[in-house]
């Protein structure tokens, strides 16, 4: 029963996210429904319902726009300054982030954004079985659609 509820929640979340992305892209409801059916038929939706929360699917379908040399340089820099493994600790990096994050927004704005995210249901998307992976993937897709394409030099 729990697995069935999780699947229904996943399908509902995907429909909501698809509808949100569609409205931003000017798609009709029929186009969104067709996209959802195509994703279900291809196994894309089920890929996020597995034990790995879609990690294998995302790894197979993610293609970086940054050149390999740039990524390797960033890894070397993070290794040298000690930030490479800060998020792997027992606190998941909370201590490091609390000491090294500088906020520029006033507290009132942050609280207003939090209230808006709670009201819209966006905040709840990060508490599902996939810990927000699906939501973050959808958000990344929306950002990618609004950013100019970067040529890969691999």
Distance CA 151, CA 136 (A): 23
| pLDDT tens track for 59-85 | 777 778 889 999 999 999 988 987 888
For residue 58, being part of any structural domain is answered with yes
Which residues have a Cβ under 8 Å from the Cβ of 63 and sit 6 or more positions away? 152
Q: How many domains does the chain have?
A: 1
146: tokens are: 């609004």
In a domain, 44, yes or no: yes
| pTM of the entire predicted model | 0.31
Domain with 139, as residue range(s), is 2-62+103-146
75 belongs to a structural domain: no
Q: Rounded to whole angstroms, how far apart are CA atoms 127 and 59?
A: 22
Tell me the pLDDT tens digit for each residue of 92-125. 778 887 888 888 889 999 999 999 988 887 777 7
The answer to whether residue 141 is domain-embedded is yes
Task: Give the model's pLDDT for residue 126.
Answer: 75
Cα-flanking dihedrals φ and ψ of residue 76, to 5°? -60, -40
Q: Is residue 19 part of a domain?
A: yes
Structure tokens at 19: 């509808």
Please give the structure tokens belonging to residue 100: 């090294």
How many Å apart are CA 10 and CA 138, to the nearest integer? Answer: 13
């Amino acid at each position: 029963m729990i697995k069935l509820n999780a699947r229904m929640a996943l399908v509902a979340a995907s429909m909501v996210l698809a509808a949100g992305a569609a409205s931003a892209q000017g798609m009709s409801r029929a186009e969104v429904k067709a996209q959802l059916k195509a994703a279900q038929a291809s196994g894309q939706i089920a890929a996020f319902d597995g034990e790995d929360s879609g990690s294998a699917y995302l790894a197979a379908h993610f293609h970086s726009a940054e050149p390999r040399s740039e990524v390797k340089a960033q890894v070397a820099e993070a290794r040298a300054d000690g930030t490479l493994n800060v998020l792997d600790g027992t606190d998941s990096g909370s201590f490091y982030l609390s000491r090294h994050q500088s906020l520029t927004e006033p507290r009132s704005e942050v609280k207003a954004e939090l209230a808006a995210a709670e009201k819209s249901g966006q905040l709840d998307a990060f508490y599902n079985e996939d810990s927000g992976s699906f939501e973050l993937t959808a958000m990344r897709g929306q950002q990618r659609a609004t950013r100019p394409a970067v040529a890969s030099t691999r």
